[in-house]
Amino acid sequence: MKFGRWLGLCCACLMALLLTACGKGSTPYDSIVVNFVNTATPSQISAIAKEYDVSLRPSSASSFARQEAIYLFDVDANHQGSTRRLMKRLTDEALIEYAHPNYQFQAAFVPNDRLYPQQWNLKAINMPEAWDISQGEGITVAVVDTGVTRVSDLAQTEFVKGYDFVDDDENPEDLQGHGTHVAGTIAQSTNNAFGVAGIAFKAKIMPVRVLDANGFGSLSDVVEGIRYAADHGATIINLSLGSRASAQLMQEAVTYAHNKGVTIIAAAGNENSNQVSYPARYEHVIAVSATGPNGEKAPYSNYGVGVDISAPGGAKTQDHPEYGILQQTINRRNPNEALFAYFQGTSMATPHVAGVAALIQAQGVKDPDKVEEVLKMSATPVRDDKQNFYGAGRLDAAKALARATGQQEENPLVLWFKDFLQYLNNNGYLNPRFWFDGGPIALVPKLLMVVGGYIIMVLIRWWLAPKRLIQSVPLVAGILLGSAGLFPLQGLAIVGAPRWPFQLAGSSLPELGTAFAQSNALNPLFASVLIPGLLMLLLLGHRRWRWGVIGLCIGMASHLLLSGSLFYEGVVWFGSSAWLGRSFLLLNGVLCLGLAYLGAQASLEQPSTATGLALRK
């Protein structure tokens, strides 16, 4: 009975912690559940009720309630401190297994907007769970764009005063449709039995027009729009715009807004380039790349150094326009006409992050650096993101809100430790991405491949000439090139420069065939005995370089044997047949091992010219 009582108490405490972590704070209850031991008699139950001056009643008329002796009594919800003490005293009674609050549960919020089922993007970021915690109350988001028209599905959305820097007036109406669509993703009027839903539908929209009816705007207007938003109470600025050129004036505006406590979020760009657009590339700006309905990078989205996080931006096709992002906007040909339209672009991905940022700020996390940290640390990481398509990962509103609520209460040291464990779990044992901006690299498998190559070298030395073989620079270089390569380089990146040189320089020979691919599957032409075999034929007679080829064979043997056994990630052209791919790698690993042995043996039979593993006399 003691075990059951303590188990029940632990469950009650865990339930309270979970409800608190989900942002409910002080979860309401007006009654207490008391579970007596099954052997308790009615007279004993009455005695307990009399002793503690509570009016116990069966929880229901069901056979389960009678059999398990489950009772309820009412309490004053305004005096939870004394109620908790009472529950503890009751739980200590030998006749009671546990006593805990009769918590109230509710269904997860699902908006009744008629077109909500078509918004795959909101489900992709787990909005239903997030809405139960926050809906963006009290937060002002500036949409610095083509302006915003208050269409019918923005009728219940609260607006604050904005400005039109294109026409220099106080009427920032949209004549293009882009800005209205963006505003809809952030705060479309929601649960109004009409149209579609928005992410932070209780947030306020500040319309700031800096782009004209064709979607173009000047640097000076965009800069003024950013400063205006920062000076007039916006705590989030959405910049679904960009340029390939950097400007000191823009960077100063971004710094100005950040210093005023504004979270700035911008589109990475739509050129399918590995260079992020400005202002997204600046420090203190959260750069957003776009994903399609399948969660993969959208074909048009920019990527690479500077991308901080990814979010749904749509990936429409001719047959599937619904793969775009659906919101209400205006008809560009007739700005007075509202319509529901599927748009796509990193412009559409950016307001997803801005909306979730508003939900985070509504929970009390206002510092822009803290908001960015919550967004990144709660994102779902994408393994093997070699080209940094996704930044920290895919946006997850529910996890972001759970993290935002917990961050205010948890010990910072404990929170850091949890973050560290989560990071190790999501990205592999140790990861250069912890220090460098770029795709994750599993450190342990790489080191094991290098160690494996060294072990193979020791074995060959033992078999051939225990007293004659030593290491040489070509041999060690060959082992490294064949086994792991200079893999830390894969995690390095320079803002504004392509990443392929680092990918190429950091790859081992077996990886060269897929150095630029997102998959870690190996190319059979490179991950085989073919290349080292050809090099052995060409360089076996060279007194120095042959030891480099022997080292290459040793390293590749280690790489292929480990890849075919412990660290198998596929072989291109072999489809989904894992056994065939594994067999191919293992066979070629054994062949490389044999080639290394034969090459070393042939070299040691020429003592007058051997300089690699042969010890000079």
Instruction: Answer whether residue 46 is part of any domain.
Output: yes
Residues 95 and 127 both lie in one domain: no
pLDDT for 615 equals 33
One domain, residues 196 and 60: no
Is 615 among the domain residues? no
Mean pLDDT along residues 54-73:
84
| Range of the structural domain that residue 48 is part of | 2-101
Residue 332 CB coordination number (10 Å): 18
Q: Are residues 137 and 62 in the same domain?
A: no
Sheet holding 70-74, edge to edge: 57-58, 70-74, 31-36, 96-101
C-alpha–C-alpha distance, residues 47 and 175, integer Å: 76
Which of 189, 182, 237 lies closest to 215, judged by CA? Answer: 182
Q: Where are the alpha helices (DSSP H) in 20-79?
A: 42-52, 63-68
Task: In whole angstroms, give the CA distance from residue 289 to residue 301.
Answer: 6
178 in catalytic set: yes
Contacts of 251 (CB under 8 A, 6+ apart): 279, 282
Enter the tokens of residue 386: 């070699």
CATH number reported for the structural domain that contains residue 48 in this entry: 3.30.70
- Tell me: pLDDT of 194 over 80: yes
Instruction: Look at 40-44, 330-334, 441-445, 559-563 and tell me which has the smallest mean pLDDT.
Output: 441-445
Give the pLDDT of residue 467.
46
Kindly state the tokens that stand for 464: 């051939």
284 catalytically annotated: no
CATH number at residue 396: 3.40.50.200
Note whether 405 and 465 are same-domain residues.
no
Quick: pLDDT tens for 430-475.
Answer: 445 444 433 444 566 777 777 877 787 777 766 765 545 456 788 8
Q: Looking at the predicted structure, is the pLDDT value of residue 12 above 50? A: no
Measured distance CA(72)–CA(446) in Å, rounded = 60
Given 401, 427, 453, the domain boundary residue is 427
Q: Which of 189, 347, 378, 528 is catalytic?
A: 347
Question: Would you place residue 3 in the very low, low, confident or very high pLDDT band (cuts 50, 70, 90)?
Answer: very low
Instruction: Say whether both 59 and 186 belong to one domain.
Output: no
Report pLDDT for 507: 86
Domain end residue (candidates: 101, 136, 164):
101
Question: Tell me, what's the pLDDT at 179?
Answer: 97
Q: What is the pLDDT of residue 249?
A: 95
* pLDDT higher than threshold 50 for residue 616: no
Residue 331: inside a domain, yes or no?
yes
Average pLDDT, the chain: 83
Q: Known catalytic residue: 164?
A: no
Q: Tell whether 214 and 358 lie within a shared domain.
A: yes
Q: Count the Cβ atoms, other than its own, within 10 Å of residue 498.
A: 15
Shared domain check, 547 and 411: no
What pLDDT does 205 receive? 98
For 488-542, write each residue's pLDDT tens digit.
777 666 655 666 777 788 888 898 888 777 777 888 999 899 999 999 888 888 8
Mark which of 427, 456, 488 sits at the end of a domain: 427
- Residue 610 resides in a domain: no
Query: 437 in a domain, yes or no?
Result: no
Q: CB under 8 Å to 286, separation ≥6 — which residues?
A: 263, 264, 265, 266, 280, 308, 309, 353, 357, 372, 375
What's the chain's Rg over C-alpha atoms?
32
Pairing of strands 31-36, 70-74: antiparallel
- Give the residue carrying structure tokens 């008391």: 34
**Total number of domains constituting the chain:** 3
Half-sphere exposure of 291 (CA within 13 A, CB side): 26
Let me know whether 417 and 324 are in one domain: yes
pLDDT of residue 407 exceeding 60, the answer is no
Among candidate residues 321, 318, 295, 332, the one with its CA nearest the CA of residue 212: 332
Is 408 found in the same domain as 475? no
Contact 109, 131 (CB under 8 A): yes
In a domain, 109, yes or no: no
Residues 450 and 596 in one domain: yes
Catalytic residue (one of 113, 145, 221, 396): 145
In a domain, 108, yes or no: no
**Are both 572 and 534 inside the same structural domain?**
yes
Task: Based on the fold, state whether residues 578 and 492 are members of the same structural domain.
Answer: yes
Residue 82 is encoded by which pair of tokens?
């004394």
- Which three-class secondary structure state does DSSP give residue 34? strand
**515, 487 Cβ separation under 8 angstroms:** no
Q: Pick the catalytic residue from 134, 164, 178, 563.
A: 178
| 26 part of a folded domain | yes
CA angle, corner 397, sides to 394 and 401, nearest 5?
130
pLDDT of residue 439: 40
37 exposure class (CB count in 10 Å sphere: 0-12, 13-18, 19+)? middle
Mean pLDDT is lowest, of 48-62, 375-389, 498-512, for 498-512
